[in-house]
Amino acid sequence: MSVDAVQALTFDVFGTVVDWRGSVARELAARFGPRGQQRDWPALADRWRALYQPAMEAVRSGRRPWVRLDDLHRENLEQMLAESDLGGLDEAALEHLNRAWHRLDPWPDVVAGLARLKRRYILATLSNGNVALMVNLARHGGLPWDAILGAEVAQAYKPLPAAYLRTADYLGLAPSACMMVAAHNGDLVAAGALGFRTAFVARPQEHGPTQTSDRSAAHAFDIVARDFGDLADQLGC
């Protein structure tokens, strides 16, 4: 099927649109460095992120009722800090640090690329991030979304089918009229199986200089792009 029928681009956000690792490492350093507590901040950002999938899996599997990502991030933050012997934060400081995920910086190509894509397509998030988080990221980074959709709206974490299908439904579109844009092979495979068109955008530094996974497209996606500018070129924007 041609991508000519695509009307909306739905975006994974963490890693695809924003540099979570660099941003979270910076926030950890800013919080604890002046206190004389020195650690490998990128490694601690990795550890915080490593707790993300297991926490969501407890919800996906039904072992827990729906919990928004902000709350899962807070639980994971407290675990990571305890493991790392980093303490001494009051409630306000803990909450501010947890909201580091609301202040992630976009990759350098993102804002200009989205502006080009928006001329032709509806742009919507299809993220596991909750609505408030996505709104604040958009305001922080100047991300011109037309709609904030995804897991919280669907009450289902990716890669559960409902996360994708309800996003398309809220846009009033068939899955085939939506193109999932992501830097993660698994996300695109899940979306493609439901009828979405697929675009892989490489983010080989998402996990730092030693990244081994998702450095390139591992499947025959509709589009494989270097960055959002290249994606706009290939879509004729």
Would you call 11 helix, strand, or coil by DSSP?
A: strand
Asked whether residue 87 falls in the same domain as residue 167, the answer is no
Closest CA to 128 of 67, 218, 185: 67
Strands 197-201, 223-225: pairing is parallel
Asked whether residue 29 falls in the same domain as residue 122, the answer is no
Q: Which amino acid is at 34?
A: P
- Which residues, 6+ apart, have CB-to-CB distance to 7 below 8 Å? 121, 122, 173, 177, 178
> Which of 102, 117, 136 marks a domain boundary?
102
Percent of all residues in the chain with a pLDDT value above 70, rounded to a whole number:
100
Overall average pLDDT of the 1-10 stretch: 89
Asked whether residue 126 falls in the same domain as residue 170, the answer is yes
Distance CA 187, CA 183 (A): 8
Distance CA 127, CA 143 (A): 14
CATH number for position 43: 1.10.150.240
Asked whether residue 114 falls in the same domain as residue 87, the answer is no
> Which of 86, 102, 118 marks a domain boundary?
102
Angle ∠(142,147,148) on CA atoms, nearest 5 = 80
Asked whether residue 89 falls in the same domain as residue 183, the answer is no
Domain containing 197 equals 3-19+104-234
Asked whether the whole model's pTM tops 0.85, one would answer: yes
Asked whether residue 119 falls in the same domain as residue 196, the answer is yes
Q: What is the arrangement of strands in the sheet containing 122-127, beginning at the earlier edge strand?
A: 147-150, 122-127, 8-11, 178-182, 197-201, 223-225
Angle, helix 20-32 to helix 91-98, in steps of 10 degrees: 160
Cβ(169)–Cβ(162) under 8 Å? no
Angle ∠(108,112,116) on CA atoms, nearest 5 = 145
Model confidence over 68-111: pLDDT tens digits? Answer: 999 999 999 999 999 998 988 999 999 999 999 999 999 999 99
How many folded domains does the chain comprise? 2
Mean pLDDT of the chain: 96
Model confidence over 142-191: pLDDT tens digits? Answer: 999 999 999 999 999 999 999 999 999 999 999 999 999 999 999 999 99
